């Protein structure tokens, strides 16, 4: 008897927990606001007084006669501290003031990259640093991560977990460079473009393997992803030592940089922001198109329906199996392009395991963005910024009482933030409902 | 013609015409679980052979050298086994969590944290005076604790917030890697780095904390870690199949909802299992630090966690078979350099074969179709019940 009563009680406490969840989340902004106030106080009391009180500058272009914003680090950081205290209070009082305070909080968070840089300048002997250039290198380094996260989106939104992004990118990077080495002898422009195309197709092939394994054979999708990562690692390593090395084309010519017509003529920033390499630019297009197709077209709606409730989708006449195949392979094409970024754009050569966990980072960026294209893009930018910042900080030789902030700490930061996001501390991230579940068509 | 997913007919595989009797025999010897991986290995080796032939090497020569590299002499056999030892631990890390329906792909990070903890404790000043009988258990426990804590974090996150462990463990792998890299490479301030060494690594641990070796002549040497990890595998097998805790773990894995109603604390089980899982990786790392190198170097463990996933999956997440699949895996890696040196075939062929074996075991419908093996009941990987949120 008592055990039955216990189990009933257990059941009740479970259901109570479920009910109380939304209640908990409504108090979350108190913690967030308090954290912002605390941050502001720390900046104001501890950080600002310890910065060098000389003029520093954020430059918009290169040193000879730059356009720049001059400031004194203690004043700048002190003002920022005051700003965070204000935003913190606004956030705590959200219930009374209305939801516009959310924008203040977003502005506060968006301001942090610049604040970090200002603090770094306040501990450096250099008089200024180029912020546009930092943005450009962040965007460049974010390219494979943003592309990879779009791959993840196309796959997970249709209900297939894809942890094989890493392998898909690596396979595409390796086979594309092999094509380049064999076909063009490292000289001809058309061979380069052919190789990019090969990369895209190879990406599609790897994704097709994932799709066949998880849709046709219904095997665990995480295992399918592991298989792809392992296979790509072996295959590219094999091809590198057996084909690429023996072809003698160790390095080639990277994709040429070019300026976007009109936009690159904008004074001061145009020749930095709008002159670049093709895959980097293509990334913006892919993110935009992903958003457009996935959220503004009937086909995109079908894709998402298959990821949320495939049985309901089937009932209204959607061919779930075919939609899943198409969406996963489309994602694979995108990962292929990301692979080409590694071996044909950022460096014109292939090394073993050169993607170096970018596929997993892409996954993190996608989750950071709560399975939305623009959110994922923001996540990719965060990772790109962390990557670009650490080289910049090494250049600035920032030190705090003889302790140089190790680059590893900056590299760690985005991963830690992603965990906080996944754990629901910074808004809740919910994956597509039918993700990871095999689907069998009726009849 | 039926494809691989045909319903289980009465006719057994093999030559015996008497259906019922031979079915009993097959079940008694439980040949089925071995049959599919075995056929998968044959297929994968065939594909690898074709690849080798394409690059213009006689596959038989290449495989000959591979086998010679794996088991050609007593020293090579010992070296192969020694190479395989840590894989047992990293595979157990996946397997234990897998039973509870959790996908721990964080062995990579748990190995690092376990290794660095073991090395850190092993370099404490007072450890130098300790006899082996005290020093070794301390270092091993430190490794298990380090790995266990790193494993418990995703468990806690899963239990408290519902954050999926696949994601959090991937994040923790990177955080662990950067953290450990800083610990052993930082010059200013020096944290754990051996300043006398040019390579970033910790100081050598106390002599008394080194695991005794069976054989020094092999590369790497064969040490007591083998016994420790085999014992760990046996302990896990007993724990999961013979204790009430194991029953709870399996129940949570099969049906968290039912477990809840049966009065099992699902959250507590999840945290404990993840901690245990991380401890297995930590044990493997401690055994490497204390047995093989005597210092901790992050690079030693690169990829070991991901290999562990594949090894555990080959063994269907069962602790005892993991020992054998780990030895197969490690020996292939250990034998490959000789093949590269003598036959000029890239060691990555081995990686391809391994990936294909895993692929074919996971998608066993392919193997069953080709070799006409009937479907057994309960392929753990066919349905992905593991990924459902609780």
Q: Give the model confidence (pLDDT) of A328-343 as tens digits.
A: 999 999 999 999 999 9
What's the CA gap between A246 and A243, in Å, rounded? 5
Question: In chain A, what residues touch B175 (CB-CB under 8 Å)?
Answer: 412, 415-416, 419
Where residue A419 falls among pLDDT bands split at 50, 70, 90? Answer: confident
What's the CA gap between B328 and B336, in Å, rounded? 12
A7 interfaces chain B, CB cutoff of 8 Å: yes
What's the CA gap between A25 and A266, in Å, rounded? 45
For the stretch B215-242, pLDDT in tens is 877 778 899 999 999 999 999 999 999 9
Higher-pLDDT residue of A105, A168: A168
A221 interfaces chain B, CB cutoff of 8 Å: yes
A182 interfaces chain B, CB cutoff of 8 Å: no
The alpha carbon of residue A306 is apart from the nearest alpha carbon of chain B, in Å, by: 16
Residue B11 has pLDDT above 60, yes or no: no
Residue A101 has pLDDT above 70, yes or no: yes
Q: In whole angstroms, how far apart are CA B353 and each of A335, B42, B80, B316?
A: 24, 10, 17, 18
What's the CA gap between A277 and B122, in Å, rounded? 50
Write the residue in A7, A235, A415 that is nearest to B261 by C-beta.
A7
Strand partners, B215: B222
Q: What are the tokens at A28?
A: 């979350």
Domain B87-329 class? mainly alpha
The alpha carbon of residue B261 is apart from the nearest alpha carbon of chain A, in Å, by: 5
Residue A426 has pLDDT above 90, yes or no: no
Average pLDDT of A233-262? 86
- HSE value, Cβ hemisphere, 13 Å, CA-based, for A96: 5
What's the CA gap between A94 and A436, in Å, rounded? 37
Where residue A428 falls among pLDDT bands split at 50, 70, 90? Answer: low
SS3 A57: strand
Question: In chain A, what residues touch B166 (CB-CB under 8 Å)?
Answer: 161, 163, 222
Are B348 and A238 in contact (CB < 8 Å)? yes
What's the CA gap between A68 and A66, in Å, rounded? 6
A110 interfaces chain B, CB cutoff of 8 Å: no
Average pLDDT of B66-74? 92
Task: Say what percent of chain A tops pLDDT 90.
Answer: 40
Average pLDDT of B254-279? 93
Where residue B325 falls among pLDDT bands split at 50, 70, 90? Answer: very high
Are B359 and A403 in contact (CB < 8 Å)? no
Are B168 and A422 in contact (CB < 8 Å)? yes
Contact (CB, 8 A) for A331 and A162 = yes
The alpha carbon of residue B238 is apart from the nearest alpha carbon of chain A, in Å, by: 26
Among the listed residues A69, A133, A141, the one whose alpha carbon sits nearest the alpha carbon of residue A396: A133
Higher-pLDDT residue of A275, B363: A275
The alpha carbon of residue B268 is apart from the nearest alpha carbon of chain A, in Å, by: 14
Where residue A364 falls among pLDDT bands split at 50, 70, 90? Answer: confident
Per-residue pLDDT, A96: 74
B68 interfaces chain A, CB cutoff of 8 Å: no
Per-residue pLDDT, B13: 43
Question: In chain B, what residues touch A419 (CB-CB under 8 Å)?
Answer: 157, 163, 168, 171-172, 175
Intra-chain end-to-end CA distance of chain B, in Å: 40
Question: In chain B, what residues touch A424 (CB-CB under 8 Å)?
Answer: 161-163
Burial class (CB in 10 A: 0-12, 13-18, 19+), B378: exposed
The residues in B 152-181 lying below 8 A from A, measured between CB atoms, are: 157, 160-164, 166-168, 170-175, 178-179, 181
Average pLDDT of B267-295? 95
Contact (CB, 8 A) for B247 and B253 = no
Q: In this structure, how many other beta carbons lie within 10 angstroms of the beta carbon of residue B226?
A: 21
The residues in A 133-162 lying below 8 A from B, measured between CB atoms, are: 161
CATH of domain A133-422: 1.10.3470
Among the listed residues A156, A200, A215, A190, the one whose alpha carbon sits nearest the alpha carbon of residue A441: A215
What's the CA gap between B379 and B363, in Å, rounded? 10
Among the listed residues A286, A285, A294, A262, the one whose alpha carbon sits nearest the alpha carbon of residue A275: A262
Among the listed residues A231, A227, A213, the one whose alpha carbon sits nearest the alpha carbon of residue A174: A231
Write the residue in A222, A237, A416 that is nearest to B166 by C-beta.
A222
The continuous run of DSSP H or E covering A276 comes out as strand A275-276
Question: In chain A, what residues touch B94 (CB-CB under 8 Å)?
Answer: none
Question: Which of A241, A369, A414, A421 is the best mutation test for B, with the most CBs of B within 10 A?
Answer: A241
Are A217 and B167 in contact (CB < 8 Å)? no
Please, what is the angle between helix A278-296 and helix A298-308, to 10°? 80
What's the CA gap between B110 and B105, in Å, rounded? 10
Average pLDDT taken over every residue of chain A: 84
What's the CA gap between A203 and A274, in Å, rounded? 28
Are B384 and A409 in contact (CB < 8 Å)? no
Mapped to the 3 state alphabet, what secondary structure does B17-78 carry?
A: CCHHHHHHHHHHHCCHHHHHHHHHHHHHHHHHHHHHHHCCCCHHHHHHHHHHHHHCCHHHHH
Average pLDDT taken over every residue of chain B: 85
């Amino acid at each position: 008897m008592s055990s039955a009563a216990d189990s009933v009680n257990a059941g009740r406490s479970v259901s109570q927990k479920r009910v109380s969840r939304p209640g908990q989340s409504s108090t979350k902004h108190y913690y967030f606001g308090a954290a912002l106030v605390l941050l502001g106080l720390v900046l104001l009391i501890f950080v600002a007084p310890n910065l060098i009180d000389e003029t520093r500058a954020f430059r918009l272009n290169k040193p000879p006669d730059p356009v720049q914003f001059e400031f004194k680090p203690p004043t700048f950081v002190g003002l920022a501290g005051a700003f965070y205290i204000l935003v913190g209070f606004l956030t705590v009082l959200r219930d009374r003031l209305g939801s516009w305070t959310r924008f203040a909080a977003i502005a506060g968070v968006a301001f942090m990259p610049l604040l970090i840089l200002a603090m770094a300048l306040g501990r450096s002997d250099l008089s200024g640093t180029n912020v546009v250039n930092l943005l450009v290198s962040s965007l460049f380094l974010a390219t494979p991560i943003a592309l990879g996260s779009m791959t993840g989106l196309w796959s997970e939104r249709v209900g297939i977990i894809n942890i094989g992004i890493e392998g898909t990118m690596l396979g595409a990077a390796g086979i594309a460079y092999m094509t380049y080495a064999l076909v063009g002898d490292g000289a001809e422009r058309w061979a380069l473009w052919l190789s990019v195309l090969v990369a895209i197709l190879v990406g599609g092939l790897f994704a097709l393997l994932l799709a066949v394994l998880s849709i046709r054979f219904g095997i665990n999708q995480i295992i399918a992803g592991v298989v792809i990562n392992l296979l790509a690692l072996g295959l590219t390593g094999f091809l590198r030592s057996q084909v690429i090395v023996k072809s003698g084309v160790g390095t080639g010519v990277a994709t040429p940089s070019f300026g976007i017509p009109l936009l690159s003529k904008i004074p001061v920033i145009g020749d930095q922001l709008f002159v670049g390499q093709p895959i980097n630019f293509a990334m913006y297009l892919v993110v935009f198109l992903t958003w457009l197709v996935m959220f503004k077209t009937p086909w995109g709606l079908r894709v998402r329906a298959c990821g949320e409730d495939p049985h309901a989708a089937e009932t209204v006449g959607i061919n779930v199996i075919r939609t899943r195949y198409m969406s996963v392979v489309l994602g694979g094409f995108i990962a292929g392009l990301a692979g080409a970024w590694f071996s044909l754009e950022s460096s014109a050569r292939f090394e073993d395991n050169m993607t170096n966990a970018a596929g997993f980072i892409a996954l993190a960026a996608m989750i950071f963005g709560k399975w939305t294209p623009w959110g994922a893009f923001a996540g990719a930018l965060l990772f790109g910024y962390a990557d670009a910042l650490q080289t910049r900080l090494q250049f600035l030789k920032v030190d705090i009482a003889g302790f140089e902030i190790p680059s590893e700490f900056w590299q760690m930061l985005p991963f830690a933030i992603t965990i906080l996001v996944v754990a629901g501390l910074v808004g809740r991230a919910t994956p597509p409902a039918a993700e990871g579940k095999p689907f069998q068509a009726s009849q | 013609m039926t494809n691989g997913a045909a319903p289980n007919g009465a006719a057994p595989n093999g030559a015996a015409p008497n259906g019922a009797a031979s079915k009993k025999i097959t079940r008694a010897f439980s040949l089925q679980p071995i049959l599919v991986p075995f056929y998968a290995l044959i297929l994968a080796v065939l594909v690898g052979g074709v690849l080798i032939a394409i690059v213009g090497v006689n596959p038989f020569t290449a495989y000959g050298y591979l086998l010679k590299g794996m088991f050609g002499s007593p020293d090579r056999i010992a070296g192969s086994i020694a190479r395989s030892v840590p894989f047992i631990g990293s595979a157990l890390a996946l397997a234990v969590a897998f039973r509870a329906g959790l996908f721990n792909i964080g062995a990579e990070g748990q190995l690092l944290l376990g290794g660095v903890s073991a090395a850190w404790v092993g370099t404490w000043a007072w450890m130098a005076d300790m006899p082996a009988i005290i020093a070794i258990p301390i270092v091993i426990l430190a490794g298990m604790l380090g790995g266990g804590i790193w494993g418990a974090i995703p468990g806690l996150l899963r239990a408290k917030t519902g954050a999926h462990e696949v994601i959090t463990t991937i994040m923790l792998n990177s955080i662990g890697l950067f953290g450990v890299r800083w610990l052993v490479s930082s010059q200013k301030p020096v944290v754990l780095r051996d300043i006398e060494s040019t390579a970033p690594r910790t100081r050598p641990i106390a002599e008394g904390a080194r695991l005794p070796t069976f054989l020094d002549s092999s590369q790497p040497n064969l040490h007591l870690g083998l016994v420790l990890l085999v014992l760990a595998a046996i302990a896990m097998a007993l724990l999961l199949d013979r204790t009430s805790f194991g029953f709870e773990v399996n129940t949570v894995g099969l049906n968290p909802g039912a477990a809840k109603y049966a009065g099992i604390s699902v959250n507590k089980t999840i945290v404990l299992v993840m901690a245990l899982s991380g401890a297995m990786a930590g044990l493997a790392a401690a055994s490497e630090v204390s047995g093989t190198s005597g210092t901790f170097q992050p690079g030693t463990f690169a990829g070991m966690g991901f290999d562990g996933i594949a090894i555990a999956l080959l063994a269907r997440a069962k602790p005892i078979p993991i020992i054998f699949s780990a030895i197969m895996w490690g020996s292939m890696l250990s034998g490959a350099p000789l093949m590269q040196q003598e036959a000029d075939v890239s060691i990555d062929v081995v990686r391809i074969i391994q990936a294909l074996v895993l692929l074919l075991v996971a998608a066993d419908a392919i193997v069953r179709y080709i070799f006409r093996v009937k479907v057994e009941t309960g392929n753990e990987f066919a349905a992905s019940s593991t990924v459902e949120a609780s």
